[in-house]
Structures are given as C-alpha cells and as structure tokens.
Amino acid sequence: MVVELLSVGTELLLGSIVNTNARFLAEKCACLGLSMYSQTVVGDNGQRLKSAVETALSRSDMVILTGGLGPTEDDLTKETCAEVFGCALVEDGHTRKRIEEFFRNSIYKDIPKNNWKQAMVPQGALVLDNDNGTAPGLIMEKDEKRLILLPGPPGEMIPLFNGQVEPYLRKLKPGFLLSRMVKICGMGESQVEDALLDLIDSQTNPTIATYAKTGEVHVRVTASALDEEAAEKLIKPVVKEIKKRLGRAVYSVREEEDLETALVRLLKKHELTVATAESCTGGLLAARIVNVAGASDVFKEGFVTYSNKAKRKHLDVSKSTLKKYGAVSRETAREMAIGGAFATDSDICVSITGIAGPDGGTEEKPVGLVYMACCFKDQVAVEKYQFKGNRHKVREHAAVRALDLVRRTILENCQ
Amino acid sequence: MVVELLSVGTELLLGSIVNTNARFLAEKCACLGLSMYSQTVVGDNGQRLKSAVETALSRSDMVILTGGLGPTEDDLTKETCAEVFGCALVEDGHTRKRIEEFFRNSIYKDIPKNNWKQAMVPQGALVLDNDNGTAPGLIMEKDEKRLILLPGPPGEMIPLFNGQVEPYLRKLKPGFLLSRMVKICGMGESQVEDALLDLIDSQTNPTIATYAKTGEVHVRVTASALDEEAAEKLIKPVVKEIKKRLGRAVYSVREEEDLETALVRLLKKHELTVATAESCTGGLLAARIVNVAGASDVFKEGFVTYSNKAKRKHLDVSKSTLKKYGAVSRETAREMAIGGAFATDSDICVSITGIAGPDGGTEEKPVGLVYMACCFKDQVAVEKYQFKGNRHKVREHAAVRALDLVRRTILENCQ
C-alpha cells in the first residue's frame, strides 16, 4: 500500500515554520510498513490544492493531509477533498456539540461564528474527535482510495494520529506490524552498521534500519506477522542479538525513552543522586537531566562554573592545577567532579570543561577539545573528546556524552 | 518569477530527518521576492526523480534541488537533471583539483574511487565551489528555465546558498530587494499585529509579515527598489515606525542576532556581569547565555538549585520563606536573585522558580506557574507568569522571558 503526504499551509512555503509533521508521519508510516514515494507542500490556494490532491491520488492509495482545517476562509482542505471525491459537506451534530463544549471550557465568552464551519464534514466521512482543538480529523474513502485529513498544529495532529489513525491503518493491512527501537550511545552510525552488517543484510523479516541522532544511533527492528504475538516472536531474538553485540552501548529499548530519561530511571533504581559541574556546556547538561519529569528525586543541584574563579570557589579546583594544566585539562575536569560531589553531597558528580569555540582554540588545545569526569564513591573516571562542528554542536555532543558517562559509570559499579 | 523546491533523499521519506533545508530555502526565497507555490520530497529513485523535475519545471521558472549529489550510486540528482535538460556530463578540471585538495587535508589516505564522480558536471553548467564538502553546487539554464542543484547537508548547502546562489538570484531580478527583521520579545503575535495592523494592511512596498517563534515575534519588512540605497530609503521609516510603536519590546533589528546575543551585547556595552539562579529551568537559562560566543566576558557562574536545600545553601533563601510561601513564590524568587547576586558578586542576578509539570501542580499553584526575579544594584523586579504547554514548553518560555527580564532591567536602569 502506497501512501503520500500533503502538507497544506502558506507558512511552510514562506519558511515561517519547519515541517516537523512530515517527519513524524513519515516515520510512523515507515513503521507501519507503508511505502512512501512523495511528500508535497502546497499553500492555502483552492485550485493548486485540488490539483495536488488529484495528482497524489493518481499515484498513491492513500494521502495524509495536514493543515487547512482551521475556521477561517483560508482553510480549504476539507472543502477541496470533498470536491475531489464529489461529496457534499453536512453538519455533524456530534462535532457541533464538541465545539460548544470546547468553548465552554475556554476563556472565550462567545463562540466565534467562523468556528461552526468546523462542524461541517464530508458526507460519509469517518470523524475523529480532536481533544486538543476544534477541528476534527477526517477519514474519507472512495473506490479503494483514501484521504486522511488532520489539523496542522502538532499538538493536535500527533494525538489524533496516535490515538485514531494508527489503529485505523493497522486494520487495513492484513497481519500485524511491530517495531522496536534499540537506542545506542557512544558508537557512531558506521560502527553500529559494521557490528550489525550481516544482520542488516540477511534479515528481511524483521528488517533493521539505523538512524543517526546527535551523539546517538537508533536501530529500528520491524517485524511483520499474522498477529502481535507472532511478530513479537520474530523481533525478540533479533533485539537480543543486537543488545548482545553492542553491549552497554545500548541504553534503552523503549520507544519513548530518551537518554536522560534512561539515566534518571537508572539513578532511581540504584537510589543514587547526581550533581553537575559545567563549564563550556553552561547548564546544558543539567537542563537535559531536568528535562525528565520527576528528576528532582535524583538531581538536587548543579554548578555552572564558567570562570576559573567560580571553579575554585564552588568546586575547590586548586589554583596550581588551573595554572599548571589550564581550565581545559584532564586534571581540572577531575577536580571539578570531586569538588562538585563534595560540595553537593551527591553520590555522583559529572563535570565538563572544554573549548566550544569559535575562539579560544590553540594548536595544542583546538576548538572541540572537551574533558569530562565522573566522580563516584572516591573513584573518578576522566574522558577526553575531540568533537567536530560549531559551538552549538560541540556543546550538544559534550552534554550527550556526559549523560552517557554517568550511565556507564553506574552500570560498571552497581551490578 | 516562480521557484519551487525539490528535496531528494529517501531519509526524508522514511522520517529519519527533518527537512530544515526546505524551511531555510523557503524563507530565503520569500526574502528575495520569489513566489513559491510548491515543495516536493522524492526519494533516491531515478524514474520518480525525473518525473518530479519535469513536473516542477512545467509549472515553475526555477527549481532548487537539494540532496542526491553524493559519491554513491544512489545519488542521481545531477545525472537526472542533465537528462531532463538533454546535456552530457563532462569532467570539470577545477572541481577535480578541489576534490584532490579536500582529501589531501583529510584523514583519508586514498581518495575513494567513487568521489571522482563528483567532478563530473552537466555541460555548460555554472559550477559553485563547495568549501565544506566534495560535491559542488550547480546552476543549469535552458530556455528561460533554471535548475539549481545543492548538496543536502545543511553545513554545505547554507554557505553555498548564501555565498553564491543568493547573489546569482539577486542579479536575475531587476532592481533590488532588501529586507530587515525586527525582533520582539514580551508581546504575542496578535498583539504585535494589532499594533501594526494599519501598516500591515496599507503597505505594499515595503511589505510587512509577522513570524511567531517561542516567546518571540519577528517582523520582516521587505522593500523592492531600483537599487540598495532606494530600498534602504523605503525600509528605514517603516522600521523606525515599528520600533516607535513597540518600544522596548524590540530587542534587535539585526538579522543574525538572537535574544541571548542581544543581551550579551547589552551587558558588554554597559560593562555588567550577570549570574543565574535556576530551579525549574534547570540550567536552560545559563545555557542560552553560554550559547553566545564570548559570553565569558559577562557571565561567570550560575546555580541550578533544584532542591530547597540547595536554594538555602547557595542562595541563602531563608527557611521561613520557603516554609511560609513555598519554593514557587514571589518571595523565593526574590531571595534567590538577591542571594545569587551576593554569592557571585555579579552586577545582576536573574532567578527562576516554577512548576514545569506534568506533576506538582495544585489548584492554587497550577502547572505552568513561574516566578522570576532580577536583582540589579539593590533593586529587585519580580514577575509572575502562567505559561501554557508541556514541561518542555513551560521551561523554554520561562528561559526566554528571563533573558528578556534582564534586558529590560538594563534598559530601564542604564540609559
């Protein structure tokens, strides 16, 4: 089954926003085993939109449209799709009630007149309740062709897709498609591919695909079978083999779990607290940990010690170390971690010091050079990295590696 | 002149990456006064790519293609475009030399055989030197139609566009198109639009368009004239009028300057230092300041005091304040800022304390409630916000508003 995406909105053509909806839907469709050969963006223009819908339907079985379902006259997606399928728009009583309900709970006193337009749906369409806005999702079917209409704001589109469109799509395909994500930190994409080459090449069910993220690699394993149990049986040994080959580099096999969430889970499991002492990352590392809801159980405090004076005052880095080895050195990183653990009375303290650039690099200590240390129960591990890229990239990579350093330290010491 | 975008790459169809190139190019084209009605994504498939190029050329004067210029057999953009225009591929001696040069400075000993493919260019094409990779950009012209081919990695595409494609496009259009960005913080998009409504409605040259960003609004003013001087003359009074109407909410009129960069510039101008004391943002605010190259001149240290104990120890927040008013309160924010300024001996200290969610909210103190304070020379300003959205959004908005609070404090006290 071939699906394609049609994003509707002049703001995309003007470059006002990034089309993150397309990435989300493309990955979802890939996971569901749907083939995608094209994605299109068109503006809020009836004629061009109609032509785009017709073209898409001529080459694909199904078109997922996002945007253009708002209450204004500019919003034409529903009207255009109804026209292409030759069906009338009729008022949906259930949706009308939901719109009334939505406004009753809002700060608006009167319901804007325009919004009643959103209760009109193409005759025969499947209406998908939108809990986060007034535009319902719609599924239209005709002659084995399908149009799926979703609102543009990701906060409305994503829950609608996950809750109602995905189950609908699953039912369309015979059998069951299941996928698992193996998340890896500390190895490059080509390293991961090398380690899994024979699996990637030989496997057809499940299939294996790698995705590079900042400082991470994600491996998606997708199996197709008659039912969920059979798919699970196909996936399980492959995921097990991948985990065996990559060892501790695998930080999670949970779809929704990112590196900081995995770390916070590990800290909670071992009832450990962590503190941070950052120089070049300037709070980025602490902010990643605090990203996790409930981080307060394991994270109490962090220091951003950007100046030498601050490193000495809060982390007790010695004057002679700073003078002899410099602020960006193995020795300073070590003392920052030890000092931070002591100052905060945390079980673990992780430190980062480096040269993020664009200035400050020398031949001996070039831009991208970063030292990080992790102090855990009187033991200190220090690591040296040479990151590539601009200031932003160097700092992001450093934060990722520091999160992973803490994770590996716990795994090595707490089993 | 009508332009459209064609992004080539199976990784986009699989949802492995977000199409940030399309946003960048769309905004650039809008600034250059080019009309865009369509954007398309296709995979690395010769037949479908050819059909997409032909379709695009049939409805637009110019197509900008990104991706598919790499050295592997999958990369077909150049070959396909040459086929569509009916021209041969010939080796470009200059590009061949540049590829040799590129590899001489790299870690590779031998030049991969595949890479010679990148020295082949369509006969008659304009070759654009790529300083960040081995694939040159290409501009092909035929019968008033144009194809512009750029490599997919943004780190190669953006410098190529800015340095060579933009000047080329400027020459195509008679006259000169100039645009200025007015950047605003502390007002919503509809507030800004209300304040500028008559200008937006009445102006045709320059035109005025608003863009909403997280916690910010950007207003682009674009003028078309015979030359740069004349365009500047058209833009100047409009930008002046906008600045007059929006007052201190305007933080910059420099295209490349973001909020933290504007703040660091202001701090340097007044020779002031700033410190941070963060609870719910957990380092996000400090990290924004350290984003700016050269921030070390004005930012020495910051605290992430997530626990009450840390607030007391490092920021000297009194036990009774925490007990009486709670950690998320006007009073705690105030004491955090005062304590942070004292502890760091900085001219300014800005503090944030709030409930980022999803848990921890009450009827009295709901999720999204954030207090922030700015201590400057014995004066403390405290502000209360109720942000919408998830944990991530609440924290991001809080960091933006805190940067702006410092900015406004300086403007009010240092003129």
Region for residue B211 given its phi and psi (left: phi exceeds 0; alpha: psi -120 to 50; beta: otherwise): beta
Q: What is the mean pLDDT of residues A76-105?
A: 92
Domain A176-252 falls in which CATH fold?
Answer: Alpha-Beta Plaits (3.30.70)
Taking the CB of residue B91, how many other CB atoms lie within 10 A of it?
11
Residue B248 has pLDDT above 80, yes or no: yes
Q: How far apart are CA A264 and CA A260, in angstroms?
A: 6
Q: Could you give the CA distance from residue B408 to residue B414 in angstroms, rounded to a whole number?
A: 10
Angle at B295 between CA B290 and CA B301, to 5 degrees: 70
User: Quick check: B373 contacting A, CB < 8 Å?
Assistant: no
Burial code of A285-319, b = ≥16 C-beta within 10 A, e = fewer? Answer: bbbbbbbbeebbebbbbbbbbbbbebbbbbbebee
Mean pLDDT of A55-71: 95
Within 10 Å of residue B107's Cβ, how many Cβ atoms?
A: 5
- Give yes or no for A214 touching B (CB within 8 A): no
Q: Using CB atoms, which residue from B43, B285, B294 is nearest to A37?
A: B43
Nearest chain A alpha carbon to B211 = A16
Rounded CA gap, B314 and B337, in Å? 11
Q: Where are the alpha helices (DSSP H) in B211-258?
A: 228-246
What per-residue confidence (pLDDT) applies to A211? 77
Q: Which two tokens stand for residue B356?
A: 């980022």
How far away is chain B from the Cα of A14, in angstroms, using its nearest Cα?
5
Phi, psi (deg, nearest 5) at residue A209: -135, 140
**A residues 81..140 contacting B (CB < 8 A):** none
pLDDT tens-digit readout, B372-411: 999 998 899 999 999 887 898 899 999 999 999 999 999 9
Residue B132 to residue B145: CA distance in whole angstroms: 28
Q: What is the pLDDT of residue A401?
A: 97
What pLDDT was estimated at residue A372? 98
Instruction: Give the pLDDT mean for A136-165.
Output: 95
Share of chain A above pLDDT 70, in %: 99
Output the pLDDT for position B185: 95
Selecting from A42, A283, A310 the residue whose C-beta is nearest the C-beta of B300 gives A310
Listed residue (B146, B188, B182) closest to B2, CA to CA: B146
Helices (H) and strands (E) in chain B, counts: 15, 17
Task: Determine, for residues A26 and B12 on separate chains, whether the beta-carbon distance falls below 8 Å.
Answer: yes
Q: Rounded distance, CA B40 to CA A64, Å?
A: 15
**Gap from B123 CA to chain A (nearest CA, Å):** 29
8 Å CB contact of A283 and B280: no
Tell me the nearest-neighbour CA distance from B101 into chain A, angstroms: 20
Contact A302 B293 (CB under 8 A): no
Q: What totals of helices (H) and strands (E) does chain A contain, helices first? A: 15, 17
pLDDT tens-place string over residues A193-208: 889 989 988 888 998 8
Q: Is B325's pLDDT higher than 70?
A: yes
- Residue A154 contacts B where some CB pair is shorter than 8 Å: no
Complex-level ipTM: 0.81
CB distance from B17 to chain A under 8 Å? Answer: yes
Q: pLDDT-based confidence at B190, cuts 50/70/90?
A: confident
Searching chain A, which residue's CA lies closest to the CA of residue B41?
A39
> What are the sequence ranges of the domains in chain A?
2-172, 176-252, 259-413
Judging contacts by C-beta atoms under 8 Å, the chain B residues touching residue A310 are: 300-301, 344
Contacts of A389 in chain B (CB under 8 A): 155
Average pLDDT over residues B281-303: 96
What tens digit of pLDDT does each residue of A337-363 get? 999 999 999 999 999 999 998 999 999
Tell me what pLDDT residue A333 has.
Answer: 98
Contact between residue B61 and residue B144 where contact means Cβ atoms under 8 Å apart? yes
Residue B10: pLDDT above 90? Answer: no
The DSSP annotation for B86-141 comes to T--EEE-HHHHHHHHHHHHTSS-SS--GGGGGGGEEETTPEEE--TTSS--EEEEE
Contacts of B345 (CB under 8 A, 6+ apart): none
Strands (E), B153-306: 176-185, 207-213, 216-225, 250-252, 274-278, 299-305
Instruction: Calculate how close chain A gets to B7, using CA atoms only, in Å.
Output: 9
> CB of A277 within 8 A of CB of A305?
yes
pLDDT of residue A106: 64
Query: Would you call B282 and A302 a contact, using CB atoms and an 8 Å cutoff?
Result: yes
Interval A131-140: pLDDT, tens: 888 899 999 9
Q: Hey, how many other C-beta atoms are within 10 angstroms of the C-beta on A54?
A: 12
Q: Quick one: fold of A259-413?
A: Maf protein (3.90.950)
Which residues in B lie closer than 8 A to residue A309 (C-beta atoms)? 300
Size of interface A-B (CB pairs under 8 A): 220
Return the CATH number of the domain spanning residue range A2-172: 3.40.980.10
CA distances from A175 to A204, A371, B34, B64, B371 (A): 16, 50, 48, 41, 53
Give the gap in angstroms from C-alpha A353 to the nearest C-alpha of chain B: 13
Distance of residue B145 Cα from the nearest chain A Cα, in angstroms: 20
Q: Is B149 helix (H, G, I), strand (E, B) or coil?
A: strand
Mean of pLDDT over chain B: 93
The answer to whether A278 contacts chain B (CB < 8 Å) is: yes
Burial class (CB in 10 A: 0-12, 13-18, 19+), A153: middle
